[in-house]
Chains A and B, each alone.
Chain A
Amino acid sequence: MAAGSTYTPIATTTISGTPASYTFSSIPSTYTDLVLIIAGTASGGTNTYVQFNGDTGTNYSTTYVYGDGTSAVSGRNTSTSTPSVGYISTAQGVSTVQIQNYSNATTYKSLLARWNNTGVLVAASVSLWRSTSAITSVLVGCSSGLTFTAGTTLTLYGIQAA
């Protein structure tokens, strides 16, 4: 069996100012999966979302399960333009997003996310982008008109299969 060292940092940004989103562009097609880490704060409490290749249409959907500290809840958002991959607030939190087989030009794209915001909820989700296009850009955004806070970090890693 072939063995290859992998888990490569592709790009990182540390937010300056108060943008509502940030885009990773020109993502190389040489990896198999992408791992996106969103760590930091926002101007208020809201979901973070992703969009691929500039697609702002309602071509996404999400199934999620979360605990709010009192109840365990599951829900679904269908035909949305902003699939949630986390919850961000004025307190530090982290989301880890696994984007599987992102450069596959045959399948729709599935992503698994873990949301961690201690003050609000802990969650996991699976999202679907109904496109067979290879992912070449990832926009990471704050919903509800809120913005990322300076110092928040967004990092993209690539994992290459044998």
Chain B
Amino acid sequence: MTPILGIMASQNYPRVTNSYESIATVNVGAGGQSTISFTSIPSTYKHLQIRAIAKSNWSGNVVSYAMTLNGDSAANYSYHELYGSGSAAAAAGSANTSYMYAGVILGNSTASTWGATVIDLLDYQNTNKYKTSRVLTGADINGTGGYVELMSSSWRSTSAVNSITLSLISGYGTLFSQYSSFALYGIKG
């Protein structure tokens, strides 16, 4: 197909007066929760954003946690990270993984502290594209063990995303702790 020089973006008329909307929130209660699920995600947005604070019952400090889409737990993902550990800047990546990176989470070795995450998923309804997520995340514990990261992941499916599940990686806790909070937002386009 012959490329064309450029395209002009279409203006937003009639105006969408506000494009950022809250969809749903999961606040973990006293018993903890093994997974966090957003289901029946409306198809009326262009992008999704999850804003979260997360803690688990793992005995350690800081570790990553996982995100899967539409219930797919097969090796249909990849992930990458650029991070600072407080002592070194580094990067890593993996192919054919069974989950995306959702962020970093605090275990219960540090009291009162939760990891913070902002997850962006663009074009989540687009059935011509695999789904790429981008995450800014971090946890500091006023001592060794804190991390700040840019994470990205891909889900090799062209399906529209209708559900998102957040979970702990095997071996790193079994429950999200009380007061962990996950808020889902939709952004119109």
Tell me if chains A and B make direct contact, with any CB pair below 8 A.
Answer: yes
Question: Taking A7-B18, A161-B25, A161-B183 as contacts, is the C-beta distance between A108 and B112 under 8 angstroms?
Answer: yes
Inter-subunit contact A110/B115 (CB<8 Å): yes
Question: How many angstroms from the CA of A101 to the CA of B113 in the assembled complex?
Answer: 12
- B7 CB to nearest chain A CB (Å): 28
CB contacts under 8 Å to A, within B120-170, are 136-144, 146-150
**B25–A128 CB distance below 8 A:** no
Assess whether A6 is in contact with B51, with CB atoms less than 8 Å apart: no
Number of interface residues of B (CB under 8 A): 47
Secondary structure of the B side of the interface? strand
Q: Is B172 an interface residue, CB under 8 A from the partner?
A: no
A74-B84 Cα distance, complex, nearest whole Å: 5
**A71 to nearest B CB, angstroms?**
8
Interface presence of A155 (CB below 8 A): no
Q: Which of B87, B89, B137, B141 contacts A128 (CB 8 A)?
A: B141
Say whether A107 contacts B136, CB under 8 Å.
no
CB of B22 closer than 8 Å to a CB of A: yes
**A107 and B178 alpha carbons, distance in the complex (Å):** 10
Point out which of B51, B85, B140 has the most chain A C-beta atoms below 10 A from its C-beta.
Answer: B140
Give complex CA distance A67, B84 in Å.
11
Question: Beta-carbon contacts of A63-101 to B below 8 Å, as 1s and 0s?
Answer: 111110000111110110000000000000000001011
Known: A6-B185, A61-B142, A76-B146. A107 touches B25 (CB 8 A): no
* A5, B18: Cα distance in complex, Å: 7
A159 within 8 A of B: yes
Q: Is B118 an interface residue (CB 8 A)?
A: yes
Total inter-chain residue pairs, C-beta < 8 Å: 161
Closest residue of B by beta carbon distance from A162: B22
Q: Is A1's CB under 8 angstroms from B23's CB?
A: yes
**Residues of B69-96 whose CB lies within 8 A of A:** 82-89
Chain A hits for B186, CB < 8 A: 3
Cross-chain contact of A162 among B20, B40, B118, B183 (Cβ < 8 A): B183
Q: Is the CB of B112 within 8 A of A112?
A: no
Known A2-B22, A32-B183, A128-B140; judge A110-B114 contact (CB<8 A).
yes
B116 engages A79 (CB within 8 Å): no
A33-B51, A125-B138 as given contacts; A108 in contact with B114, CB under 8 Å:
yes
Are A107 and B20 touching (Cβ within 8 A)?
A: no
Q: Known pairs A32-B51, A101-B181, A161-B22; list 19 more (Cβ under 8 Å).
A: A1-B41, A2-B24, A3-B21, A6-B22, A61-B140, A61-B142, A64-B84, A65-B83, A75-B84, A76-B146, A110-B138, A114-B136, A125-B138, A126-B116, A126-B137, A126-B148, A128-B140, A159-B22, A162-B25
26 pairs, CB–CB < 8 Å, chain A vs chain B = A1-B23, A3-B186, A4-B22, A32-B51, A33-B183, A63-B86, A65-B83, A67-B89, A73-B84, A73-B89, A74-B84, A74-B85, A79-B142, A98-B51, A104-B179, A106-B179, A107-B112, A107-B113, A110-B113, A112-B118, A124-B138, A126-B147, A130-B142, A132-B112, A159-B185, A161-B185
